[in-house]
C-alpha cells in the first residue's frame, strides 16, 4: 500500500491563514491522488478552540478526501474511543489541539463527523485486498509524559501487517533542549515505520533500525533557518519499503544575516533594501523574509529600532519582511549572554510556557499528587481566567 504521511497544517494560523488553507488543500489533494491511505500526525488546527470559520475550512478540506473512492478501508479499530468512518484517513491531535483531560479536542470533532479516524491511544488497521497496514498512535501529550504514556499504552504490532507507530512529540536526539523530551529508545519496538509531527521541518531518520519520518509542516510558521526547505509530505510504499517526498507549492521563505558592526544607519538601510530587492526579484507571490541583524551597535545606530520597523513596512508590496534585532549587541539590545535564546527559537510558545511553569514550580518545591502539566493545561485552557483558576484549585484540593 502507499501511505501518505502528512503533518502540521495549522489551519487558522493567523499570520498566514490563506497559505495555511491553500497549502493544506494542495497536500490533501495530492495525497488522495497518490496514496491508498493517509496518516496526519497532529496540529491540523493552529489553536485549541478554532473559530467556526476555521472548523468550516477543515470540513471543506476533508470533504474533498471523502469524495474519493478509497479502495483501502479501515477494517478494525482497537481502542477506548470510537470512530465513525472506514475511510483510511487517520489522524491524531497535536500540541496545538491538546486539551485538558476528558475535554473534546478539535480533531475529535472531525472524528465525530466521520471525516477522519482519530487513532489516539489505539490501533487502526487498514485493508486493501490481502494487504494490511496497522497504525498504532499516541495523540500529542506534554513532553515529559511521552515515554510514560508509550509505556502505559504498550503498543503491539499486528501479525501479518505492515506496522506503523505515529505520534506528535519532540525527540531529544533531534531537539536536545530539554531533558523532558523523550528519547528515540522510548519508541515501541517491532514496528516497520515510525512517523512523527510537531517538528516543522522535514526529518528522515532511523529508530530501532527502521525509518523514522517527519514530513514537517505544510505552512511556514516559525520563520526559522530550517524552514527554508520545501514543504510537502511523504508517500511510503509498504511493499517496496521505500518512500518519496512530494512537494507542494509554498510561499518562499528567506532568512538572511547582516553584520552591522562598524556600519552607519545609511549603510545598514541600503544593505537591507538590496537584500529584500534581490530576494523578491524572482519570487512568484510575496516571499517572507527574515533579516537577522548581528554585530555591535554604535552611537549613531543605537536606537535604530523604530526606523527598522518603518522600513520593514515599506516593502509590504513586494515582500513580508521581518527585521530581527535580537542578536545585536550594544545598548539598544544587549544579548551578550542569552542561554535561553536557542531554546525559545526551537520550542513552541506553549512548550516554552510549560517549561517556565515547571521551572517556577521547582523553585517552590511543588509536591502535590496532581501532575503539574495537567494544572498547566487547565490554566491555559480557553476558558475565562476565573473559571480556569477555579477548576485548577478544585483539582488541587480534591
**Which residues of this protein are in contact with Mn ion, per CB under 5 A?**
8, 43
- CB 198 to Mn ion: min, Å: 6
Residue at shortest CB range from Mn ion: 43
- CB 119 to Mn ion: min, Å: 18
Number of DSSP helices (H) and strands (E) in the chain, helices first: 10, 17
- CB 279 to Mn ion: min, Å: 26
| Intra-chain end-to-end CA distance of the chain, in Å | 50
Beta carbons of 91 and 105 less than 8 angstroms apart = no
User: Which residue in 237, 315, 377 sits closest to 395, CA to CA?
Assistant: 377
- CB 7 to Mn ion: min, Å: 7
Question: With respect to Mn ion, which residue has the nearer C-beta, 217 or 238?
Answer: 217
Question: With respect to Mn ion, which residue has the nearer C-beta, 45 or 162?
Answer: 45
d(CA 275, CA 256): 8
Question: With respect to Mn ion, which residue has the nearer C-beta, 36 or 43?
Answer: 43
Question: With respect to Mn ion, which residue has the nearer C-beta, 43 or 377?
Answer: 43
- CB 94 to Mn ion: min, Å: 6
User: Which residue in 52, 63, 68, 50 sits closest to 24, CA to CA?
Assistant: 63
386: part of which helix (H) or strand (E)?
helix 385-397
User: Which residue in 151, 65, 55, 185 sits closest to 109, CA to CA?
Assistant: 55
Question: With respect to Mn ion, which residue has the nearer C-beta, 26 or 43?
Answer: 43
Kindly write down the DSSP assignment for every residue of 83-98, as one continuous string: ----SSEEE---TTT-
Q: What is the distance of C-alpha 144 from the center of its chain?
A: 17
Question: With respect to Mn ion, which residue has the nearer C-beta, 8 or 144?
Answer: 8
- CB 116 to Mn ion: min, Å: 17
Amino acid at each position: 500500500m502507499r501511505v501518505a504521511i502528512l503533518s502540521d497544517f495549522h489551519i487558522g494560523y493567523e499570520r498566514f491563514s490563506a497559505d495555511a488553507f491553500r497549502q493544506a488543500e494542495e497536500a490533501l489533494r495530492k495525497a488522495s491522488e497518490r496514496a491508498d491511505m493517509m496518516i496526519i500526525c497532529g496540529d491540523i488546527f493552529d489553536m485549541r478552540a478554532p473559530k467556526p470559520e476555521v472548523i468550516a475550512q477543515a470540513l471543506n478540506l476533508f470533504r474533498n478526501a471523502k469524495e474519493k473512492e478509497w479502495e483501502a478501508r479501515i477494517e478494525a479499530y482497537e481502542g477506548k474511543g470510537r470512530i465513525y468512518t472506514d475511510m483510511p484517513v487517520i489522524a491524531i491531535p497535536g500540541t496545538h489541539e491538546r486539551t485538558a483531560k476528558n475535554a473534546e479536542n478539535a480533531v475529535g470533532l472531525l472524528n465525530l463527523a466521520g471525516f477522519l479516524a482519530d487513532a489516539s491511544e489505539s490501533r487502526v488497521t487498514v485493508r486493501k485486498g490481502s494487504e494490511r497496514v496497522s497504525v498504532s498512535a499516541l495523540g500529542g501529550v506534554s513532553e515529559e509524559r511521552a515515554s510514560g504514556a508509550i509505556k502505559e499504552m504498550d503498543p503491539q504490532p499486528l501479525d501479518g501487517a505492515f506496522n506503523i507507530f505515529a505520534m506528535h512529540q519532540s525527540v531529544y536526539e533531534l531537539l536536545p533542549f530539554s531533558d523532558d523530551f523523550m528519547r528515540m529508545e522510548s519508541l515501541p519496538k517491532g514496528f516497520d515505520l515510525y512517523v512523527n509531527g510537531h517538528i516543522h521541518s522535514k526529518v528522515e531518520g532511523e529508530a530501532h533500525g527502521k525509518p523514522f519520518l517527519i514530513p514537517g509542516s505544510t505552512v511556514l510558521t516559525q520563520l526559522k533557518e530550517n524552514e527554508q526547505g520545501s514543504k510537502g509530505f511523504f508517500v511510503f510504499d509498504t511493499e517496496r519499503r521505500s518512500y518519496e517526498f512530494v512537494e507542494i507549492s509554498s510561499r518562499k521563505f528567506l532568512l538572511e544575516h547582516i553584520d552591522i558592526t562598524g556600519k552607519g544607519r545609511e549603510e545598514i538601510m541600503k544593505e537591507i533594501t538590496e537584500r529584500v530587492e534581490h530576494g523578491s526579484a524572482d519570487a512568484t507571490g510575496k516571499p517572507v523574509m527574515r533579516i537577522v541583524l548581528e554585530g555591535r551597535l554604535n552611537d549613531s545606530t543605537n536606537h535604530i529600532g523604530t526606523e527598522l520597523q518603518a522600513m520593514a513596512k515599506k516593502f509590504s508590496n513586494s515582500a513580508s519582511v521581518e527585521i530581527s534585532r535580537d542578536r545585536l549587541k550594544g545598548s539598544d539590545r544587549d544579548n551578550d549572554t542569552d542561554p535561553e535564546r536557542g531554546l525559545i527559537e526551537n520550542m513552541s510558545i506553549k512548550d516554552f510556557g510549560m517549561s517556565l511553569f515547571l521551572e517556577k514550580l521547582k523553585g517552590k518545591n511543588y509536591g502535590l499528587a496532581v501532575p503539574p502539566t495537567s494544572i498547566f493545561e487547565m490554566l491555559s485552557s480557553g476558558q475565562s481566567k476565573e473559571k480556569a483558576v477555579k477548576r485548577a484549585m478544585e483539582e488541587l484540593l480534591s
